[in-house]
Structure 1
Amino acid sequence: MRIYLRLLGAHLRALLEYEADFWILAVATVLMQVVNVVFLAALFAKIPSLNGWTFWAVVLMFGAVALAEGVGSLFFEGMWRIAWQINMGELDYFLVRPYPVVLQSSSAEIGINGLSNIVVGGIMIGTALAHSEVTWTPWRAVAGLLLLVSAIVIKLAINLATNAASFWLSSPSPYFAFAVHTIGDLARFPLSIYPAALKAVLGIVLPFAFVSFFPAAYLLDEGTNRWIGLLTPVVAVYCAVIALAVFKRGLRRYESAGN
């Protein structure tokens, strides 16, 4: 952990050398989230609810996705460089160091936009819960924290697995991971508004629904299947195991620079 934080600190100091770029990116990230809230406000100004889900319930889902993406960008942005590291042979350096390759790769870059997403996402979650009728108990508070941590792990695991697919692809850009990331944006809205096929994709194949919808359903006590939210930690462990297995399997295929 100490080495990991030192590597991230080195990248942060390098990033802060370009102060104007740093602040532009940070402000732009905040504005993107503000636009999302304005869009939701405009949407719910025309309709009372979205298939039974209120404005603040959807804001909670938006906030959960933003927070999970923020943690991924700030602490694990290097995952998005795996394709480049493979193509350029940068993994050669990682393989000879006494430090897990997956951690070296993940800490190879820091996304400062993640800090803005964490702050704004946290504000969205807090505001949404404050405007929702949630009966808080010690168990529900602990469960809520566990669900949030598990949701972040699921998002990180999907990022790692889809970027590790670059071991089987020749492109220096993570096009496949970007495509899956775009699908994940659908998890900002209630799963119940989508057709059955898309529900299966977001709930089972690519369990983005466990990042936002199912945890929110449990906390807000909404929906007939709200108990599924309690499976979020199990899904997180499953996704983490699969992601690490995919990365390790792909690492065996690595043949240094060139293709």
Structure 2
Amino acid sequence: MRLRVLGCSGGELGRHRTTCFLLDGTVAIDAGALTSSLTLDELARVERVVLTHSHLDHVKDVPLLADLLLGRRARPLVVHASTACAKTLADSLFNDRLWPDFTRIPDRRRPFVKVVPFHPRRRFRAGGYTVDPVPVHHPVDSVGFVISDGRDAIAVSGDTGPTDAFWKLVNAADRVRAILVETSFPSRLQALADASGHLTPATLAGELEKLDRDGRPVFLYHLKPAFAAELRRELSALGLPGVRVLARGQQLEWTSGRRVPSRGVS
């Protein structure tokens, strides 16, 4: 299993890109940095997108990717979205007003974008991967999940404030090699983080107490660019063991449970 970090910030600014992880070159977890990070040939190999929720920084490259690839391949882009997220995509994005409805182009029988809704508490398949979702705490319906290729798995929190369900899912899952957790605002902005459904270093520390670590690394993402330096200082001062901040361009790889060293940080 190979995870490439295309974007891991809570906003776009300079070299910061919004959330997007590429799994084995074919499955994107969220779509905040596909078209700004990949070549056209690499984009053509993306078969599926698994969305955590409907906010723009997580879905924005789905319509842009459809526009780039239409006519370059016959197979559709499959988008896995919770029932609530799928409705938002239909009502507010692919509505022929904000963007052409690629779920009906070139026609309804053979659309280029195929949105496949999933229940936020039920396991589903995304190509060769098994995905176990769970609702987390955010102003819109948002899910965290564990995604597995049958040998190794990773956990992704999605955008969330304090939650119990995600940690219960991770603790019960097999062969989870790494946990990716959002952390967005410094602790001095705790009220803002709570209102917007995000974590701070202070609430992250409390959340990690719910995790049966067993030596597994925790990687942080979704740091707001305006506060990134402050967040790094605060996290360093907390000294949370085994907790690291992801970097755009980083690659994480596992081979049957064995961690391959990270590479490609830019």
Q: Do the structures match in fold with TM over 0.5?
A: no
Taking CA–CA contacts closer than 8 Å with sequence separation of 6 or more, which of the two structures ends up with the larger relative contact order? Answer: 1
Instruction: Compare CA radii of gyration and give the structure with the larger one.
Output: 1
Task: Please state which structure has a larger fraction of its residues in strand.
Answer: 2
TM-score between the two structures when normalised by the length of structure 1: 0.25
Task: Please state which structure has a larger fraction of its residues in helix.
Answer: 1
TM-score between the two structures when normalised by the length of structure 2: 0.25
